[in-house]
Chains A and B, each alone.
Chain A
Amino acid sequence: MPDGPLIVQSDKTLLLEVDHEQAVECRKAIAPFAELERSPEHVHTYRLTPLGLWNARAAGHDAEQVVDTLLTYSRYAVPHALLVDVAETMARYGRLRLEKHPVHGLVLASTDRPVLEEVLRAKKVAGMIGQRVDDDTVAVHASERGNLKQALLKLGWPAEDYAGYVDGEAHPIALAEDGWGLRPYQQEAAESFWHGGSGVVVLPCGAGKTIVGAAAMAHAQATTLILVTNTVSARQWKDELVRRTSLTPDEIGEYSGTVKEVKPVTIATYQVMTTKRGGAYRHLELLDARDWGLIVYDEVHLLPAPIFRMTADLQARRRIGLTATLVREDGREGDVFSLIGPKRYDAPWKDIEAQGYIAPADCVEVRVTLPTSERLTYAVAEPEERYRLASCTHEKVQVVRDLVAAHPGQPTLVIGQYIDQLDELAEKLDAPVIKGETPVKERQRLFEAFRSGEIGLLVVSKVANFSIDLPSAEVAIQVSGSFGSRQEEAQRLGRLLRPKTEGRSAHFYTIVSRDTVDADFAQNRQRFLAEQGYAYRIVDAEDLPA
């Protein structure tokens, strides 16, 4: 009986024992086709999904390789049904191909006529296809390229897209590598993307996804549309691009709620793109404003549904998605696969941390006990009020103070959900606060001051969750959050993971009220951290070193 590091479960999960001598080798071998689900300290869990297997096919792996890998590293007999399923699933990818035809334009071609017949008869596909060219080929309306791919994926016959891309309007962009260089994994990510045509790059928060985007633009040498989550993030992209590339501020436009510029490189927010007026999306013309050569999607896992619909019409343009995780809370991973593209690069959090590109983090949950009076209020409160009551307890203020005091001289962020609580904390801690109503200019000033070390303590609301680069932050104290969002946890932790001077580790505190919904939600988030491989501790507030 081979003593491999891998255990293949019949529910299609793969358990990898990390302390095994072959573990590293095995991880490399299974990473292309299995999605890492959890990576706690001893046993990592991967899952085999159709999308994962198709991603592997897109990257050039075949079923035989996958089966062979499973058999090679598996400790026990591999369930026969699972092997059959892997082979069958993988064989489905690429039976259908979208191609360019000299006469008919875009066509759907197949090497397997029954499959073609099957999908042509499907209701979902009706209306997207034109006349039959020959037995194995059928014309496709060019405008339906994205919708057809989506529909085919739902039918279980994902099509390979060989139809190519338009070059777009050329625009010179080069990386300005003065005093810094692309990290090896960033280089690899940008190149895998470029060779694959379109697709998604998965990198942990803090690993420099913006740089990968810039590198992709340097490859494309064309006008670029960048879609980001919010305005602050848009500004940061702009700053970063000015700093890292040959682009000048004049070449970069912002298209947001306040400013609407269209320049060779335009950064738009999801929000403005999805704003409806009179039942119609008002800003769709942006998509046609220029002949874009590349479209960058930041935080793909948050891509709102209307953007998906718009993306379906942009299939002839190169697309790169950047994200920390392919997991979407709404389960639309399939749309990301078919509309933006397969996963082109993936490096797990811990690996990049081990290479020293992101800082290790020490996660601590501090539990406070509600005083009796607050317990009573809590007990009789309406359910929808409970979370707010529990997470805004005054007990937390003292704990935050203690924690801030415990880390003198270390730039610290206090992050919360409720404005009242943040205002109170800001007052008690005598620190500036950034919240939704803070003007963008003021926000940028404060962030800059924090970055430069002028301010050592900043209280921020959820506006700082995404894509705000605060590389100097070393301590984050979370006092309340949007219920149990794992997404938010990842983002907040991401703020801390920029590498620190002297290799210091970051500290991530979450303050939680014991025996309340606050603690229940916290459990969700802790689980996420533990699954990401972060050791976390739970301490009682009374036990904190004062």
Chain B
Amino acid sequence: MTDVATEETGFRSLADQLRSWDDDRLAGLLSARPDLTTPAPHDFGQLASRATVRASLARALDTLTLLELSVLDALVVAGQTTADDVRGIILAEPGAVDTTLARLVDLALAWHGRGGLRAVSGVADALGSGPGSSGLRPRSPDAPPAAEVETRLAGLGKPARAMLEHVAAHGGEADAGSARMTVSPADAATPAEELISRRLLVPLPGRRSTVQLPGEVGLALRGGRTTTEPVDAVPPVVTGERPARLVDTAAAGAAYEVVRRVELLLDHWGSHPPAVLRSGGLAVRDMRATTELLGVDVPTAALVVETASAAGLLSTRADAVGDEVFCPTDAFDSWLEQPPAARWVVLVRAWLASNRLPALVGTRDAQGKTRNALSPELSSYSVAESRAGTLAALAGLAPGEVLAGATGLPSLVERVAWHRPRRPRSRADQVAWTTTEAAVLGVTGLDGLASYSRVLVEGGDPEQALAALLPDPVDHVLLQADLTAVAPGPLESALARQLQLVADVESRGGATVYRFTPGSVRRALDVGWTAVEVHGFLASVSRTPVPQPLSYLVDDAVRTFGTVRVGAAESFLRADDEAALSELLHHPKAAALGLRRLAPTVLVSSTPVDVLLGRLRDLGAAPVVEAADGTVQVLRPDVLRARTPKDRGPSHRSVRESARVSAVVAAVRSGDRAAAVRPSAPGTPLTPSGALAALREAVETGATVLIGYVDNQGVSSERLVDPVSVEGGSLTAHDHRVDDVRTFAVHRITTVRPVEAD
């Protein structure tokens, strides 16, 4: 490279422009268009060519806003031009256009060619007639100045003008029928000829009677702009007013509720894991059971299930007989240890990043089959982006502003669609799902974003803000004579678990109502509590005296329950019942156990615990094992846990990606240097990818190249061609030898050599 090209002077090719960028700017491009990095391109030529492939362009366009698409479209209409010119033909704030142009260049969707700023080839096709497209044709290369076009328009007769406007409104292309293509304005006999003669419609090259409306004429018809509506007007969201405090309390109420539901569900599934369907989902029957367990409808239950799964709290494992079942992961246990606000954050972050579609659970697919929760096909690449977009739009509202009743949601859809107009088609659904799900999860309340969710959306940690809104955990209950206990708020986790053991939960919500029954008390005894412990526990958690009927109930349950307990710590036996020990001690068959009375209620034995246990049971005792620290080891139904799936969280992903991006940048540079020092020996066979890159570059620059080509008969020849496009493995180019457009198979092209233009 001898002459130093800049954006002012223009570059020979997109590859040249990329080559001139610093590493940061390149990294920016590769991060924004990650598909360019896989696999890592060899050099800038290949990078540039890959950036203009249709698929890559389509992906890049999908991430643009309506304004960006419109500006890009204007650039296509304008052809190679200056920024000033582009500003002139777009109905938008000039400042916004400048920023947008810069971004388009950064995304390698536009570049500074020698002839001015231009969109990369292929953009016009990729834009198609989708969002942002103005429907105008590119300006003719020899377009007359706007004033001249105006004059020509002014000279038209009424029928011709009407015809022109009809063509403009219907795709800009028309069949001229028998109209003569070469005719002077004076000779024009029909409106069509009148238009053709004034070059307001021009014949389409290569097509006999088809004419099209050149860009400059279309612009003139629209008053000099590509659109008649401003393209930088972001659609407003229709809102209503609600006190911010109410929004927060309503949302916090829901937030607390969802945390509670996840806990309830996974606790239940820990002991009653539902089977995994062969297709990978949760059976409809289990879904129904879940709705009953949680007391909610199917969409809500599905959201709870899917969110728990997304947060890594729920996974699958094989049960005792080897069937796959859903059960909580070990992460669930550590999740439980956290305060409710932190648990909520875990759930909601997972939901935000998840690509799952819980809203579709329970609906029927095209085959009429019910869609199951947790089934693999219930996901969409775009839903996480929709969620982020929706919440960002909501975060744009002032505190206290909420979506208006009927019109709020449609306006929100429009706003989100403005930011990503091209995809997906189900945007309206996805936005609606997001608002519903956000309300259930407590991200929003009364259709407004809660203050703590705003922190979350802005990238902060909402835990503190949410914790302040959640009810404080209470450490006591109110015991009542009707054998219920009411916890007037969320109980501390450990306390709640103990209470759940001794009593059955009757009603849940802000408060919890527990009911003591003989069965529930026996359950506590089964796990090793003694009467004294139960009484002590009740007395300690109750703020009021323990009602007499409750004490009576406990005693009554104890009365019918076994009294002997055995410790595991190096063989000791203790029991509240002296007689039972005496009986053991004096049992004729117990001699071998080496039992010795330690205290009236304690025996020790020289037999190892495992042997001792069996022997004691043979003797008819019902021992319970005690751990070294005095707590009881209990045999209770296994509670299953699966391993937490190694999720590639977004933070890991971004770190890894930025590392990857810089590696790619380095690789591209070195590859490029290597290519530069390699003697460009003419005729050196190229790899297919090298050939592609060279051809794409030629397409970009409109250069003439000499290609080595092996034809159908295996005869090798050299052709001088002007490449027009490279698509689907074939090169379309104007062949100088036959002076016509021909198609060449890329894999048969052996060499590509630039020809110095003369």
Q: Which residues of A contact B (CB under 8 A)?
A: 1, 7-11, 13, 15, 17, 38, 40-43, 45, 75-80, 515, 526-527, 530-531, 535-538
Contacts and interface: CB of A to CB of B under 8 A. Distances in A.
B549 A538 contact: yes
Interface of B: 249-250, 252-254, 256-257, 295, 439, 445-446, 469, 471, 478-484, 486, 488-489, 507-511, 513, 544, 547-549, 552, 560
B482 A9 contact: no
A77 B249 contact: yes
A536 B508 contact: no
A78 B482 contact: no
A79 B509 contact: yes
Contacts of B469: 1
18 contacts: A9-B513, A10-B508, A13-B507, A13-B509, A13-B513, A41-B547, A45-B507, A76-B510, A79-B257, A79-B509, A80-B253, A80-B254, A80-B445, A526-B549, A527-B482, A527-B483, A530-B480, A538-B549
Contacts of B257: 10, 79
Contact of A538 (B250, B256, B552): B552
Contact of B480 (A13, A42, A79): A42
B253 to A, nearest CB: 3
B486 A15 contact: yes
B250 A77 contact: yes
A397 B125 CA distance: 101
Given A76-B253, A531-B482, A538 B548 contact: yes
Given A9-B507, A530-B481, 15 more contacts: A7-B509, A9-B511, A10-B295, A40-B481, A41-B480, A41-B544, A42-B479, A43-B480, A76-B511, A77-B249, A77-B253, A79-B509, A80-B254, A80-B439, A80-B446
A77 B252 contact: yes
Contacts of B471: 1, 75-76
B414 to A, nearest CB: 25
**In the A-B complex, the 9 residue pairs with the closest CB atoms:** A77-B253, A9-B509, A530-B482, A76-B510, A40-B480, A42-B478, A7-B511, A77-B249, A530-B481
Contact of A537 (B252, B513, B544, B548): B548
**A10, A38, A535, A538 — most chain B CB neighbours (10 Å):** A10
Contacts of B511: 7, 9, 15, 76
Nearest to A11: B507
A458 B364 CA distance: 70
Contact of B481 (A75, A515, A536): A536
Contacts of B250: 77-78, 80
A62 to B, nearest CB: 19
Contacts of A531: 482
Nearest to B560: A515
Nearest to B542: A42
B541 to A, nearest CB: 14
Contacts, number: 103
A38 B482 contact: yes
Nearest to B246: A71
Contacts of A9: 507-511, 513
B486 A42 contact: yes
Contact of A75 (B480, B510, B548): B510
B136 to A, nearest CB: 48
A11 B509 contact: yes
A1 B248 CA distance: 11
A42 B487 CA distance: 11
**A77, A79, A80, A515 — most chain B CB neighbours (10 Å):** A77
A43 B488 contact: yes
Given A76-B253, A531-B482, A17 B488 contact: yes
Contacts of B478: 17, 42-43
Nearest to A75: B510
Contact of A11 (B249, B295, B439): B295
Contacts of A45: 507, 513
A512 to B, nearest CB: 12
A535 B479 CA distance: 13
Contacts of A77: 249-250, 252-254, 256, 510
Contacts of A1: 249, 469, 471
Contacts of A42: 478-480, 486, 544
A7 B510 contact: yes
B481 A78 contact: no
Nearest to A74: B510
B36 to A, nearest CB: 46
Contacts of B548: 537-538
A42 B550 CA distance: 15
Contacts of B295: 10-11
Nearest to B552: A538
A80 B445 CA distance: 8
Nearest to B254: A80
Nearest to B261: A10
Contacts of B439: 80
Contacts of A76: 253, 471, 489, 510-511
A75 B508 contact: no
Contacts of B513: 9, 13, 15, 43, 45
A7 B471 CA distance: 11
A8 B252 contact: no
**B250, B486, B509, B548 — most chain A CB neighbours (10 Å):** B509
Contacts of A8: 509-510
B488 A15 contact: yes
Contacts of B481: 40-41, 530, 535-536
A7 B509 CA distance: 8
A34 to B, nearest CB: 14
A282 B590 CA distance: 80
A13 B254 CA distance: 17
Nearest to B486: A43
Contacts of A17: 478, 488
Nearest to B551: A538
Contacts of B483: 527, 530
**B295, B480, B481, B486 — most chain A CB neighbours (10 Å):** B481
Given A10-B295, A45-B513, A530-B482, A75 B488 contact: yes
Nearest to B255: A77
B51 to A, nearest CB: 49
A80 to B, nearest CB: 5
A41 B479 CA distance: 9
A78 B256 CA distance: 11
B253 A79 contact: yes
Nearest to A76: B510
Contact of A10 (B445, B446, B509): B509
A43 B295 CA distance: 23
A537 B486 contact: no
A7 B488 contact: yes
Contacts of A40: 480-482, 484
A535 B547 CA distance: 9
A530 B469 CA distance: 35
Nearest to A13: B507
